[in-house]
């Protein structure tokens, strides 16, 4: 039979797990692009894969599109941030590459970011952060779509940029779990506490928001 000390330890461990389930974030990636297209880059299909087969662009205004990252973010997730790692290098004078998100593979959304590759060999330049949505809103459905990605352009008339790969990491939090806790008389004069996790969106008949026990722990198992 459990002692009060054993019960307290068990409840403390369960409480720790519960808090993590309710507040801990998650991430997916980095995931490499699988589709690279451009009407102005040389060898545009080489822009994905981190395999040293590269697409090349010289001069201002030329752009390419990288999509097909293959994410499977849970549909209930809230997207918190995007990080894009661009692998490549430049020759010639200093120039920048502007990169911006696309949801449909054609039109850009949000705000652009200016990245500057170092002189060759390859180096990685990153844009975004775990809390940066690039000036737009994103859903799991949009991020999971094969058309989600980046559209980038080169600035600098004397700059040649070679791009080997773009990898994306998505930061998100999943829907909260709610906890339904009940207690009933048990053997030996003790009470039995039963706690189950239920997800948001289940029928309201399973819980009552006015019940102060919802989402809380009852320590009756420590009582005689």
Most confident among 71-80, 120-129, 136-145, 175-184 (mean pLDDT): 136-145
Shared domain check, 86 and 144: yes
Q: Rounded to an integer, what distance in angstroms lies between the CA atom of residue 87 and that of residue 63?
A: 16
CA–CA distance, 134 with 113 (Å, rounded to integer): 8
| Pair (51, 67) in one structural domain | yes
Is the pLDDT score of 192 beyond 90? no
Q: Which domain holds residue 90?
A: 26-173
Task: For the chain, give the mean pLDDT.
Answer: 75
Among the ranges given (120-124, 169-173, 183-187), the one the predictor scored with the smallest mean pLDDT: 183-187
Residues 11, 101 within the same domain: no
CA–CA distance, 94 with 221 (Å, rounded to integer)? 68
Name which of 120, 43, 45, 46 is nearest 88 in CA terms.
120
- Are 127 and 200 members of one domain? no
Looking at the structure, tell me whether residues 164 and 212 fall in a common domain: no
| Phi, psi (deg, nearest 5) at residue 157 | -65, -20
Q: What is the pTM of this model?
A: 0.69
Question: Are 194 and 123 in a shared domain?
Answer: no
Claim to verify: residue 85 and residue 121 sit in the same structural domain: yes
| pLDDT tens, position by position, 47-90 | 888 888 888 877 676 788 999 999 999 988 999 999 999 998 88
CA distance 57 to 109: 23
Q: Is 207 exposed, middle or buried (0-12, 13-18, 19+ CB in 10 A)?
A: middle
Domain total of the chain: 2
Co-location of 162 and 203 in the same domain: no
* Judgement on whether residues 124 and 17 belong to the same structural domain of the protein: no
Q: Which residue has the higher pLDDT, 57 or 95?
A: 57
């Amino acid at each position: 039979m459990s002692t009060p000390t054993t019960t307290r330890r068990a409840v403390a461990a369960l409480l720790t797990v519960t808090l993590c389930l309710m507040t801990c974030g998650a991430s997916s990636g980095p995931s490499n692009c699988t589709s690279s297209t451009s009407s102005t880059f040389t060898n545009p299909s080489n822009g994905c894969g981190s395999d040293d087969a590269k697409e090349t662009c010289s001069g201002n205004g030329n752009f390419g599109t990288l999509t097909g990252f293959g994410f499977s973010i849970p549909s209930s997730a809230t997207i918190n941030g995007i990080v894009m790692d661009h692998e490549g290098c430049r020759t010639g004078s200093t120039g920048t590459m502007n990169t911006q998100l696309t949801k449909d593979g054609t039109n850009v959304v949000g705000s652009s970011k200016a990245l500057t590759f170092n002189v060759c060999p390859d180096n990685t330049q990153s844009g975004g952060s775990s809390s940066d949505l690039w000036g737009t809103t994103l859903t799991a459905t949009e991020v999971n779509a094969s058309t989600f990605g980046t559209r980038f352009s080169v600035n600098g008339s004397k700059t040649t940029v070679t791009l080997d790969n773009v990898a994306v990491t998505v930061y998100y939090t999943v829907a909260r779990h709610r906890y339904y806790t009940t207690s009933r008389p048990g053997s030996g004069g003790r009470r039995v506490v039963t706690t189950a996790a239920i997800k948001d969106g289940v029928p309201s008949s399973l819980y009552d928001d006015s019940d102060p026990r919802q989402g809380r722990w009852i320590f009756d198992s420590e009582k005689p």
